[in-house]
Structure 1
């Protein structure tokens, strides 16, 4: 199984403090393909699809850390997946199940928690947190470059796969997301939400890790109000981004995932 790590990064400091420190990259197990200056995630990732040839493409944010043994555990999880669905399209460490449950586990620095239930088998999902998305090249998927910005593409690519009769899954693949605290949803998120409502109206509602995309669009206003009311509480949950990702992995018991592989 050939593997490539793909990242669209605009900040070398964040990249070097997190993703580039992952043993799979730092020790040369898999190549890191960087995209710079793209106007959207979809454009960046489609460029990377064309520029790389690996069978398995791992699209990762630059503030993600992949603990030691992550690649071996991914191989095991994909073998388990292929046993039940040899034509799988997408896989990830964190997604929203068809029953709206959160599938993990993933550490998130922005909320200071390990999030997501641990499934005993690959779980079908309707969306991903975009922190990490694993794509099987043979599925023939591409990201929609009409989707603006850097949000919602995890929900969009899953919905694209599902409407084509393909499936997306999440499973137990512990990952560190050393993300900074976000106080509220900004204009670029609203723009992506609006685009998704228009594009997938016949498939709504869809649940993302953050929000429900509904035909009425009222959930956007509900979430923004809830964010405003909970801002102090959520800020106090955040642990910041100053901790070394290896330290965060050790706190979670994920210093070396090889034993699980």
Structure 2
């Protein structure tokens, strides 16, 4: 069962409250996992409260009205508006320090989050989601014009709320930023790492919210083009690009193409770039100075990374830094076969390289290091067959969160299982994660 809404009488004995978490709940199991995750990260019952609106059986409140109701009930110094499918990675102590530093830099800040865009359209994101592990931006904070809705922090003393004349489940993050600006306050994306299990959805309700948002704010201030983490909105400014983007969006939604069609556009753009690279510029894909003969169905992401010289760049750097000549190496996963040269250089060719699709048999005698892209298989071993990894002292993992999320798992759960078995994360570089067994 979900924790009940807190009443004012029960709060009298718990003050002061640092954080009030407010969530709209449609899936109780996800919400319970979110609450437990934050409690384990130090957001305990003594200093925090968790409030929710139950939308399980029907949508009784939306992102504007429902969150306003909970903000009014909240007693914390900070009100956190959190999606039900979030998991904590960093601690309460980290968020405390982030907000203290932000207040020192800008005492007038009123709202913050982990993802947003500034006035120039540059995006600042601190997250692990299905699109990437440990995504970060330079610095501790960046002033923004919009915020993603997955995690929003309000200063209670700023007395902010969402527009009463808007409704739905989209763009309320940008609405609260605009409400802050109308009161002379500021908004920031901040360095607080979370895992988000969900994926964005673009459907007719999204288009309706976007159109209503534009009608409302066109009457205020200068003519603007505002970029959000999920869309672009035009507030009186004339932009052919924004008009065309929104027109295509509305048409695709009207045809029932409710999938993330923007990803289709990105794939088309990448395919055209690939064609230009190979046919017009007559360049070949190369790795380590060797030309690669890619198949016609090779992923566009791979082609893009090769063009930019970034394919497996993080993994190669971690291999050079963390593999020792005295350790045998097990390489698992055909996607990482291109790293064999890096492994041999790092180990001085002192051991035969074990190419394994499974870690059940034919393992090297004695200690070994593991280089793998199979996060789910590694998770299974950590949970069910930890003895197989007992001789392993170093793991270099190419971590792609979508693999775990598609299996109903989380990066946070995987890392917790690794810690339980004596491994600690010592370094990350893009998708590359290095886990080392404690001595």
Q: What TM-score do you get using the length of structure 1 for normalisation?
A: 0.83
- Deviation, 1:231, is 8.1
Q: 1:46 aligns with which of 68, 76, 79?
A: 68
Q: Report the counterpart of residue 204 of structure 1 in structure 2.
A: 224
Q: Does 1:192 align with 2:214?
A: no
Runs of 5+ unmatched residues, structure 1 = 255-261
Contact 1:176-1:248 within 8 A present in 2 as well = no
Q: 1:218 aligns with which of 220, 224, 244?
A: 244
Structure 1 residue 91: Cα displacement: 1.1
Deviation string 1:120-175 (CA, Å, 9 cap, x unpaired) is 24211111110000000111111113222100000111011112211001121111
Q: Is the Cα–Cα contact under 8 Å of residues 225 and 232 in structure 2 kept in the other structure?
A: yes
**SS of the counterpart of 2:67?**
helix
State the partner residue of 2:114.
Answer: 93
Cα distance, 1:231–1:7 mapped onto 2, change above 3 Å: farther
The 1:203–1:61 alpha-carbon spacing in structure 2 relative to 1, beyond 3 Å, is farther
The structural deviation recorded for 1:218 is 3.1
Q: Equivalent of 1:246, from 384, 403, 412? A: 412
Aligned equivalents of 1:169, 1:68: Cα separation in 2: 18
Aligned residue among 148, 158, 175 for 1:156: 175
In 1, distance between residues paired with 2:32 and 2:191?
Answer: 26
Gaps of at least 5 residues in structure 2 are 1-16, 253-260, 269-298, 301-399, 419-423, 427-439
- Provide Cα deviations, 1:66-92, integer angstroms capped at 9, x if missing partner: 1251x1111101111111222210111
Q: Which residue of 79, 87, 92 maps to 1:57?
A: 79
Partner residue in 1 for 2:29: 13
Q: CA RMSD in A?
A: 3.0
Distance 1:25 1:195, change over 3 A: farther
Counterpart contact for 2:48–2:76, Cα < 8 Å:
no
- CA shift for structure 1 position 208: 0.7
Q: Which moved more, 1:19-28 or 1:93-102?
A: 19-28
- Cα separation, partners in 2 of 1:148 and 1:127, compared to 1, 3 Å: same
Q: Give TM-score, length-normalised by structure 2.
A: 0.51
